[in-house]
Copies of this chain bind each other. A is one copy, B any other.
């Protein structure tokens, strides 16, 4: 380590420690211990503080998001839009430097992290995206996509199952431009990693098809740099294990007490003395350190300029491809696709999963950026894009993905692909297994990533597979999550409308789709884009408002007929997306559910949780507030009283109330 390197690394460590100290909150230990890794890595990476969105940049994910002070220190020192004032406002309201890194909030932060393990899986998604786009767009002499993806993690990320899933997938897919750096400080919150994590991480990664490179001394910047260069040349993903000391050079070095609390002013003073740091004043960075980082940034700016030249040449010689590339990167939907979806023809008895399969295949033809697949359920989810290859090490341009039986990593990998840019990812599994991927779906919503979740087998209609495979509470769980649009279409036309809405949106969408066939309704269609709409329009005030989603729209239609026989008028409302309905203006909402009609029944083959928002205290919810059961679907519907008769009786009760 030469003097300017040492001074720079000391500056990173002290700035991170002081940032936490000043906020009286945060995680100094790893930020201090991993500073040499960050120094070596950011020097090694291709990135340009003057153009944080440079398409050719290397990607960095701080999977150990609690070490945010380290990332902010690097962003600040390199001259990204993180000022020293921002550092002083660490973890304060509306600051640029929240407790965990937030993508879309702080320039240079490539992913929102904090929920452990997911950063690794998102990095896998980014590396996958790069290989795919490179196969699709690179031409001889024009390496439009040619970047590496780096993730930095601690023991915590590696213990999480989602990280293992992603690691196994990355090994299978031979994602050679992916490097994971493991800050091995052997300390977690409860103490030494020996207590709960005795496995041989290196051997485990090797077993998963990764190259493993060891760095014995986490303060040896040259060794870390060497390891990074070695990983560049590998034909498989690399894990660099760096043995570090948490809170290096402080009185809390090596202790779990350094993980999640400020060090204390006294310890920072000792730390400074140990480092030979001359500045008592907090938030001091020597000029030569700034100068050093700006110099490193300058060479990156040159690389960016060269890239831009290359891209201009590419545009000139490959005009069509370039136009397509720009369209993909814009995230815009091609003219006409939404109209085509709107005019998709469905008739007779069709399951919405089958309608979804048709819609997806139409989208695949018109939207080159579509990519996705299932967690080993493609033949059931009906998500295969026919006529397109499956992605593999031999066929990087494939749009169909085999995610394996890894729901959580699947969703996190889709987040990574969406973050990378140029792709519209979708993923698929049974709705009940939304449980397995929920933590990644939450990050889709938090980052506003338009990932499409195709969730088939959406109710007890699953039938024989029984309660472990029949979703009950999943739709409520998803609706409760902020920023997610949940669609449960009643037929093919509403399914197409759900895709229209999802494609036009910048937030994640869930499509809950039936296994069983459903009728095609005359009155359905793009009314579905308002979330809830009236399928019949009775003259005058109805006696009762019937609301349903998905397969239960059939029940309310039939119940309305039965009510008519009895002289009552029902307003039949299909409510494929409650979130969209809530976004409509009051006048529209009141036209769908007249405020003064309190006789209301909501019907859904799932738990009733949440429906009283629409039916109130005087209405009823026909639903399933228990687990399902194994039997043919029709039997389960009958036995659990999801029948026209139940709806009719509930309607009559509310009318007479």
Contact = CB atoms under 8 A, between A and B. Distances in A.
B609 A390 contact: no
Contacts of A161: 117, 160-165, 406, 408-409
A206 B203 contact: yes
Given A100-B465, A160-B161, A463-B25, A404 B196 contact: yes
Nearest to A639: B93
A156 interface: yes
A547 to B, nearest CB: 13
A468 B168 contact: no
A595 B404 CA distance: 52
A613 B243 CA distance: 54
Specify which of A113, A163, A466, A618 lies most central, judged by the most chain B CB atoms within 10 Å of its CB: A466
Contact of A610 (B92, B598, B610): B610
A617 B477 CA distance: 22
Interface string A431-468: 01101101100110110000000000000000111111
Contacts of A92: 630-632, 635
B446 A627 contact: yes
Contacts of A561: none
Contact of A200 (B191, B207, B598, B625): B207
Interface in A176-208: 188-191, 195-204, 206-208
A173 to B, nearest CB: 9
A179 B209 CA distance: 25
Nearest to A442: B435
A108 interface: no
A211 interface: no
Contacts of A472: 481-482
Contacts of A18: none
A115 interface: yes
A374 interface: yes
Interface string A613-647: 10011100000011101111001100100000000
A436 B439 contact: yes
Contact of A477 (B157, B445, B473): B473
Contact of A189 (B91, B379, B630): B379
B405 A188 contact: yes
Interface string A107-135: 00000111111000000000000000000
Contact of A199 (B100, B207, B435): B207
Given A206-B203, A482-B625, A631 B91 contact: yes
A65 interface: yes
B473 A482 contact: yes
Contact of A466 (B102, B156, B159, B200): B102
A380 interface: yes
A433 B313 CA distance: 49
B376 A156 contact: yes
A452 B439 CA distance: 21
A6 interface: no
A607 interface: yes
Specify which of A94, A172, A445, A609 lies most central, judged by the most chain B CB atoms within 10 Å of its CB: A609
Interface residues of A, number: 113
A609 B473 CA distance: 13
Given A189-B377, A405-B156, A409-B161, A480 B473 contact: yes
A112 B468 contact: yes
A93 B379 contact: no
B197 A404 contact: yes
Nearest to A593: B617
Interface in A13-43: 23, 25-26
A591 to B, nearest CB: 16
A403 interface: yes
A159 B405 contact: yes
A87 B255 CA distance: 59
A483 interface: yes
B446 A468 contact: yes
A603 B377 CA distance: 41
Contacts of A338: none
A437 to B, nearest CB: 9
A531 interface: no
Nearest to A406: B159
A469 interface: yes
B208 A204 contact: yes
A9 interface: no
A196 B402 contact: yes
A361 to B, nearest CB: 17
A609 B612 contact: no
A464 B99 contact: yes
Given A93-B631, A165-B159, A465 B99 contact: yes
A631 B24 CA distance: 11
Contacts of A446: 467-468, 627
Pairs of residues from A and B, 3 with the lowest C-beta to C-beta distance, nearest first: A161-B161, A196-B404, A114-B468
22 contacts: A26-B464, A115-B432, A117-B161, A161-B164, A164-B164, A171-B199, A188-B405, A195-B392, A195-B402, A195-B404, A196-B376, A199-B208, A201-B207, A443-B468, A473-B477, A477-B477, A482-B626, A483-B626, A483-B627, A609-B609, A609-B613, A612-B612
Given A116-B405, A204-B204, A480-B609, 18 more contacts: A23-B464, A25-B632, A93-B639, A98-B467, A98-B629, A99-B464, A114-B469, A115-B468, A159-B165, A164-B165, A172-B199, A196-B403, A199-B209, A200-B208, A472-B482, A473-B482, A480-B480, A483-B627
